[in-house]
């Protein structure tokens, strides 16, 4: 076989599929088939590294590590925009412009994306470099990380300019951001505060495969070249669409040409009202003079172009008194400082508390008790403290000294290198950590213990009946009956719930243990790979790291967990009570690979129960997903299925199967 030719073919096919999917939102290939092509290319590149191009589609999944980001000068300086906050200021901007140039003025209105600016250089149709804004003159080379962002083309198509820079904003789409935070919550990790900072942090990560896993996106907003062959900015943005870029949609009004102040204000008002429906955050609107000649005539001030201005949305902001900073202890021992405020109305809700995140945040904003603070609610849901009204600060006010000892058990707090959060190390003696772990253990997605709730866990703990998860299974009716508000029926239910939970399969038990960084998905992977807690507990760091998708942090956390004597004793006790600590191959062995990797939505009423149906799908390697999207491979269609789902599936041309058809398929 001509390997070079095959690599070229695969590259071309994969680039085309990527483009269809991420730019045109119109995929022609299943995820599975795509992955097979990618794997073939990866294998060939591993075998013949000299044939691997720096812009190979395999770079999309990351893997390149950047230890130090090199500082590189921008070919065109990266300026900023002057801001405005009212119609009057926009009118002044327009008047200024009309004084400086003659004739009609056409404006382009765009969204002001709230993310991180990036400048990407293309030479002869290939992405060669991506640089952060930095100080505007030079920035950091984050090319390997930017290559993982799928909507950014690595190779261009069409009639592109031989050399140019394209600029845009890297954003963290809200859906992906919320998904990431949910995963982190399940793994007992701290939450990221907002999409913008997280996008910025992600872009500077050393391991590009982590960047790849985070699904960042890029919104294009400007083209720079020595000579551009079109009349104006709007035309340029549309032109680069032909080169393979995803550009702002005219149909969805992400970009619009207008001829007057009224047009500008109409655009601003539309997005002020509708911005919460966007899949990413914006913090305003950008208005640019369209015509390049006019732009040249207008020129620049020291910091920003005269031909453009940003209009910033008003975030609703109020000020209130911060009465006290208190500290919360999470299940993992992480400490979160909380601002307790004099209640205040903000954007339709009463705000009483706001997270201060960590010690650095308090120091950065120099927040102190009895300060008057500004609380803001922008596009986000959670209110945040954005600063202190220094004019109202008491003269004898002192800087906050961060808590040194656990607010609950008084153990000295620790802060490990690289961690934003302080931790209480008294894992097995600190109440919220103990009850938090027990609450996690009994949760619906874990051991799913019926008849036991958060309140009861705390009652049981306070009565001295449970100190760890294993104690739960030693509880007797005589012990729990005397608890307040505990009727005989509920006591029996509790014991029944616990007995039932002994049937819960190993992967869920593993998740339930609450090992740091071991969330639902990781637990499944580990259970499948090691098959028993015994084998997992004996694995060293290296063995663990060799498991697909298990990195250093997870590996270290697992080794750490199993080196703790108390954890070992507890697991021994749990084993004796009959919990599942081995993979039940009879239940779990896949019956076939017929549905391997396929994403399947089940909707409507069926002859077998929905759970049976879902299990059947998993047994054949399929994955159950709840919502229909263009990634869905099959829709299993039952009776009385909702019309909107059906319509969506039809529109996306998703293959639909009846229950019978599915069964026939699997029997074959
Ligand atoms: S144009 C010379 N357009 O806002 C013009 N910027 O202070 C340069 N931004 O650093 C910027 N959306 O990161 C432009 N549609 C948009 C934008 C945008 C967001 C950011 C950009 C820049 C900052 C301006």
Q: Name the CA dihedral angle for 456, 458, 462, 467, rounded to a multiple of 10 degrees.
A: 100
* pLDDT of 589 higher than 60: no
Rounded to the nearest 10 degrees, the angle between the axes of helix 431-442 and helix 454-462 is: 140
Q: What is the mean pLDDT of the chain?
A: 91
Which part of the chain is CATH 3.40.50.10190?
Answer: 599-667
Shortest-distance atom of ligand 1 to CA 116: 13
Check pocket membership of 113 for ligand 1, CB cut-off 6 A.
yes
pTM of the model: 0.62
Provide CATH code, domain 431-503.
1.10.150.20
| Structure-block tokens of residue 340 | 């307790």
* pLDDT of 132 higher than 70: yes
- For residue 492, report the distance from its CA to the centre of ligand 1, in Å: 63
Shortest-distance atom of ligand 1 to CA 169: 13
Shortest-distance atom of ligand 1 to CA 117: 13
**Mean pLDDT across the stretch 490-498?**
94
Which part of the chain is CATH 3.30.470.30?
Answer: 101-256+276-308
pLDDT band at 193 (very low <50, low <70, confident <90, very high): confident
pLDDT score, position 588: 53
Task: Summarize pLDDT for 70-90 with one digit per residue, the tens.
Answer: 999 999 999 999 999 899 999
pLDDT score, position 380: 54
pLDDT band at 141 (very low <50, low <70, confident <90, very high): very high
- For residue 386, report the distance from its CA to the centre of ligand 1, in Å: 22
Check pocket membership of 117 for ligand 1, CB cut-off 6 A.
yes
* pLDDT of 188 higher than 80: no
pLDDT band at 525 (very low <50, low <70, confident <90, very high): confident
Higher pLDDT among residues 235 and 622, named by residue:
235
Check pocket membership of 311 for ligand 1, CB cut-off 6 A.
no
* Cβ count within 10 A of residue 326: 14
Fold annotation for 506-587: DNA polymerase; domain 1 (1.10.150)
* Protein residue closest via CA to atom 13 of ligand 1: 117
pLDDT score, position 348: 63
| Structure-block tokens of residue 470 | 């294993």
- For residue 175, report the distance from its CA to the centre of ligand 1, in Å: 23
Instruction: Look at phi and psi of residue 72 and say left if phi exceeds 0, alpha if psi is from -120 to 50, else beta.
Output: beta
pLDDT score, position 666: 85
**Residue 656 and residue 632 in contact, taking contact as beta carbons nearer than 8 Å:** no
Q: How far lies 643's CA from each of 630, 637, 649, in Å?
A: 17, 11, 10
Shortest-distance atom of ligand 1 to CA 304: 2
pLDDT score, position 587: 55
- For residue 109, report the distance from its CA to the centre of ligand 1, in Å: 12
**Mean pLDDT across the stretch 591-609?**
83
pLDDT score, position 368: 97
- For residue 221, report the distance from its CA to the centre of ligand 1, in Å: 7
Task: Summarize pLDDT for 423-440 with one digit per residue, the tens.
Answer: 999 988 999 999 999 999
Check pocket membership of 308 for ligand 1, CB cut-off 6 A.
yes
Higher pLDDT among residues 153 and 344, named by residue:
153
**Mean pLDDT across the stretch 588-606?**
79
Supply the DSSP string of 16-43, one letter for each residue.
HHHIIIIISS---S-HHHHHHHHHHHHH
* Cβ count within 10 A of residue 418: 6
> SS3 for 540?
coil
| Structure-block tokens of residue 642 | 């909702």
Q: How far lies 531's CA from each of 505, 568, 588, in Å?
A: 11, 18, 11
Share of the chain above pLDDT 90, in %: 65
Q: Which of 180-189, 289-298, 332-341, 366-375 has the lowest mean pLDDT?
A: 180-189
Which part of the chain is CATH 1.10.150.20?
Answer: 431-503, 506-587
Share of the chain above pLDDT 70, in %: 98
Which part of the chain is CATH 1.10.287.610?
Answer: 3-61
Task: Summarize pLDDT for 29-61 with one digit per residue, the tens.
Answer: 888 889 899 999 999 999 998 988 889 999 988
pLDDT band at 521 (very low <50, low <70, confident <90, very high): confident
**Mean pLDDT across the stretch 609-635?**
85
Question: Which residue is associated with the tokens 């299943």?
Answer: 30
**Mean pLDDT across the stretch 607-619?**
84
Catalytic residue among 112, 155, 246, 598: 112
Residues 101-256+276-308, CATH architecture = 2-Layer Sandwich (3.30)
Higher pLDDT among residues 591 and 486, named by residue:
486
pLDDT score, position 605: 84
Fold annotation for 318-392: OB fold (Dihydrolipoamide Acetyltransferase, E2P) (2.40.50)
The class of domain 599-667 in CATH terms is alpha beta
Check if CATH label 1.10.287.610 holds for domain 3-61. Answer: yes
| Structure-block tokens of residue 245 | 């870029």
pLDDT score, position 287: 98
* pLDDT of 144 higher than 90: yes
Check pocket membership of 77 for ligand 1, CB cut-off 6 A.
no
Q: Which of 376-380, 442-446, 517-521 has the lowest mean pLDDT?
A: 376-380
pLDDT score, position 482: 92
pLDDT band at 404 (very low <50, low <70, confident <90, very high): very high
Active site residue 112: yes
**Mean pLDDT across the stretch 108-137?**
96
* pLDDT of 408 higher than 90: yes
**Residue 657 and residue 637 in contact, taking contact as beta carbons nearer than 8 Å:** yes
Check pocket membership of 84 for ligand 1, CB cut-off 6 A.
no
pLDDT score, position 378: 60
């Amino acid at each position: 076989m001509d390997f070079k030719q095959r690599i070229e073919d695969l590259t071309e096919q994969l680039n085309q599929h990527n483009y269809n999917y991420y730019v045109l939102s119109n995929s022609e290939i299943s995820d599975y088939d795509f992955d097979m092509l990618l794997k073939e290319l990866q294998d060939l590149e591993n075998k013949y590294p000299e044939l691997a191009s720096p812009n190979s589609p395999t770079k999309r999944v990351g893997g390149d590590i950047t230890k130090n980001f090199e500082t590189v000068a921008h070919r065109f300086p990266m300026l900023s925009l002057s801001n405005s906050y009212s119609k009057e200021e926009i009118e002044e901007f327009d008047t200024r412009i009309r004084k400086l140039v003659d004739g009609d003025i056409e404006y382009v209105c765009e969204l002001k994306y709230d993310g991180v600016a990036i400048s990407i250089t293309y030479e002869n149709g290939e992405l060669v470099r991506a640089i952060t804004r930095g100080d505007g003159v030079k920035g950091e080379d984050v090319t390997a990380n930017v290559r993982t962002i799928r909507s950014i083309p690595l190779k261009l198509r069409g009639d592109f300019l031989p050399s140019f820079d394209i600029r845009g904003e890297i954003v963290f789409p809200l859906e992906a951001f919320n998904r990431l935070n949910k995963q982190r919550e399940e793994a007992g990790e701290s939450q990221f505060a907002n999409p913008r900072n997280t996008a910025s942090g992600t872009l500077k990560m050393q391991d590009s495969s982590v960047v790849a896993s985070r699904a960042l996106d890029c919104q294009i907003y400007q083209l720079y070249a020595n000579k551009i062959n079109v009349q104006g900015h709007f035309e340029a943005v549309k032109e680069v669409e032909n080169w393979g870029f995803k550009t702002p949609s005219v149909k969805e009004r992400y970009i619009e040409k207008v001829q007057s102040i009224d047009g500008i204000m109409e655009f601003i008002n539309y997005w002020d009202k509708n911005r919460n429906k966007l899949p990413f955050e914006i913090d305003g609107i950008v208005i640019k003079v369209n015509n390049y000649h006019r732009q040249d005539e207008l020129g620049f001030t020291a910091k920003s172009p005269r031909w453009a201005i940003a209009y910033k949305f008003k975030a609703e902001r109020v000020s209130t008194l911060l009465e006290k900073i208190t500290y919360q202890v999470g299940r993992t021992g992480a400490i979160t400082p909380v601002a307790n405020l004099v209640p205040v109305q903000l954007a339709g809700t009463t705000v009483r508390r706001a997270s201060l995140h960590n010690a650095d945040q308090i120091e950065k904003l120099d927040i102190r008790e009895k300060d008057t603070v500004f609380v803001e609610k922008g596009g986000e849901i959670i209110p945040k403290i954005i600063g202190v009204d220094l004019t109202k600060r008491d003269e004898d006010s002192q800087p906050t000294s961060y808590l040194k000892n656990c607010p609950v058990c008084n153990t000295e707090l620790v802060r490990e290198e690289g961690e934003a959060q302080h931790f209480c190390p008294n894992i097995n003696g600190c109440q919220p950590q103990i009850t938090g772990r027990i609450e996690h253990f009994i949760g619906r997605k874990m051991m799913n213990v019926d008849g036991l709730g958060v309140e009861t866990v705390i009652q049981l703990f306070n009565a001295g009946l449970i100190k760890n998860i294993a104690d739960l299974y030693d509880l007797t009716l005589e012990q729990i009956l005397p608890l307040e508000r505990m009727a005989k029926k509920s006591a029996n239910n509790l014991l029944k719930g616990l007995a039932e939970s002994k049937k819960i399969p190993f992967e869920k038990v593993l998740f339930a243990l609450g090992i740091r960084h071991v969330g639902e998905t990781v637990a499944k992977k580990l259970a499948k790979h090691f098959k028993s807690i015994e084998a997992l507990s004996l694995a060293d760091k290296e063995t663990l790291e060799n498991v697909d998708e298990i990195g250093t942090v997870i590996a270290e956390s697992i080794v750490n967990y199993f080196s703790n004597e108390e954890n070992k004793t507890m697991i021994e006790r749990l084993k004796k009570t009959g919990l599942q600590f081995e993979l039940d191959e009879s239940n779990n062995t896949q019956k076939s690979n017929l549905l391997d990797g396929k994403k399947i939505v089940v909707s409507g009423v069926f002859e077998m129960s929905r759970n049976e149906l879902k299990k059947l799908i998993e047994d054949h390697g399929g994955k159950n997903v709840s919502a229909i999207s263009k990634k869905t491979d099959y829709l299993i269609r039952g009776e009385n299925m909702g019309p909107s789902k059906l319509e969506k599936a039809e529109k996306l041309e998703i293959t639909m199967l009846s229950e019978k058809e599915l069964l026939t398929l699997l029997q074959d």
